[in-house]
Amino acid sequence: MGSKISRFNYNTQPPQLVAYIRRSAESRSQIRDIVNDLLQEIPGEFIEGNVVCTFFFITDIKNGFDVEISIPIKNSYNNKSVKTKEIGTSEYLSYIHQGSIQELQKSQELLFSFAYSLGLNSDEFMREVYLDNNDPAGNQIEIQLMIHNWESLFETNLIEILGSKKAKKVLDENAESLLDVPLAKRYESIKNYLKKMKEITTEEERFEIISKCSHIFPKNMIEKLRIVYQNALQTQKPISAIDETLRYMSERRAWGVPPKREGYIMFTSKKPRKPEEFNKAETKAEKMAAYCYCAIIRDMYGEGMDPEFCKCGAGWPRQIWEGILERKIKVDV
């Protein structure tokens, strides 16, 4: 399923079987080498599409790119270098770049700017589809911004927590496609959802619903932290094992600004999205626009959105620390 606005395309990718190689690459030329390695490993009769390079934004690789090079295949194919898996359904906004690799970043910025103008947030990874398998990673590249569909997650969580019958009191059965709705209208729709939800839910239910709308932190990265914590527990008390985990986080780029522990409470925050603009901002609205990462709300601060909306941000540390500690935690925003 797809639709088109000007030069940009919206599509839903169904589940797909792929062969893949996951590696780090210090440069674009190394990505090309990995693409060639994959194509040499897979028999031609297995291949069912174009090569895809997935760039993972959340990574502890110090330099270069954390990438997964994959290609759709008809049947499972595994050897020492290549693995097979099924990737799930995804939504994306795309733009086809034609030209030199040196100009690719400008095309990426075009795509991301267009998405943000609609209030569409990117997920924690991006894809490039190399449209010519005879010249992989050449000058015909489809850039895919993976959409973090807040409304879809909200609907799923609402039904899970409240049940279908109660959720219908909140949801709009005639909701339009994401690309058909201007940002201001989406903002008002979400504001209305939260208002109706508040009338029929407890504070605990609202936290469960909204915090699960957050971006998804990679499970493999959380597992690394869980192992650090569990290993520290072998010789240390739980609170010291937490400190050991915090030290590990502070030494790696994946976790950004690590939390600070004061007693049994941890405080966490992000750096401003645009630090220079944040420092120059004079009004609260200007500061929020420069600080906030959410394309839905950052340019509309003060337009009446219920503060409960921002509990979505609690889902990020919640995923990490519930994964580490293997127990529920309380998060305040």
pLDDT, tens digit, for every residue of 253-296?
888 888 999 999 999 988 999 999 999 999 999 999 999 999 99
User: Average pLDDT of 206-220?
Assistant: 95
User: CB–CB of 190/209 below 8 Å?
Assistant: no
User: CB–CB of 55/144 below 8 Å?
Assistant: no
Residue 145 token pair: 């911004």
Residue 74 token pair: 């008809």
Whether 218 has a pLDDT exceeding 90, the answer reads yes
Instruction: Tell me the pLDDT band of 175, cut-offs 50, 70 and 90.
Output: low
Residue 5 token pair: 């606005």
What is residue 80's predicted lDDT score, i.e. its pLDDT?
Answer: 84
Whether 30 has a pLDDT exceeding 90, the answer reads yes
DSSP bridge pairs for 67: 23, 55
The single residue listed with the structure tokens 């390695």 is 37
pLDDT, tens digit, for every residue of 45-99?
999 999 999 999 999 888 899 999 999 999 988 788 899 999 999 999 999 998 8
Model's pTM, two decimal places? Answer: 0.90
As a residue count, the chain comes to 333
> Cβ-count burial of 282 within 10 angstroms (0-12 exposed, 13-18 middle, 19+ buried)?
exposed
What is residue 6's predicted lDDT score, i.e. its pLDDT?
Answer: 58
What is the DSSP annotation of 154-220?
A: HHHHHHHHH-HHHHTTTS-TTPPPGGGS-HHHHHHHHHHHHHHHHHH--HHHHHHHHHTTSPPPPHH
User: CB–CB of 198/249 below 8 Å?
Assistant: no
- Report the alpha-carbon distance of residue 146 to residue 127 in Å, rounded: 8
What is residue 177's predicted lDDT score, i.e. its pLDDT?
Answer: 67
What is residue 100's predicted lDDT score, i.e. its pLDDT?
Answer: 86
Percent of the chain with pLDDT over 70: 96
Residue 118 to residues 93, 112, 145, 294: CA-CA distances in angstroms? 11, 10, 13, 11
What is residue 139's predicted lDDT score, i.e. its pLDDT?
Answer: 78
Percent of the chain with pLDDT over 90: 78
What is residue 196's predicted lDDT score, i.e. its pLDDT?
Answer: 95
User: Strands of 8-13's sheet, edge to edge?
Assistant: 2-5, 8-13, 90-98, 140-148, 121-130, 51-56, 65-72, 16-25, 83-87
User: Average pLDDT of 191-202?
Assistant: 95
pLDDT, tens digit, for every residue of 134-156?
776 667 899 999 999 999 999 99
Long-range contacts of 214-217 (CB under 8 A, 24+ apart): 214/312, 214/313, 214/314, 214/315, 214/316, 214/318, 214/319, 215/121, 215/123, 215/124, 215/148, 215/315, 215/316, 216/123, 216/124, 216/319, 217/58, 217/124, 217/316, 217/319, 217/320, 217/323
Domains, the chain, in order of start with CATH, read 2-148 (3.20.80.10), 150-211 (no CATH), 219-325 (no CATH)
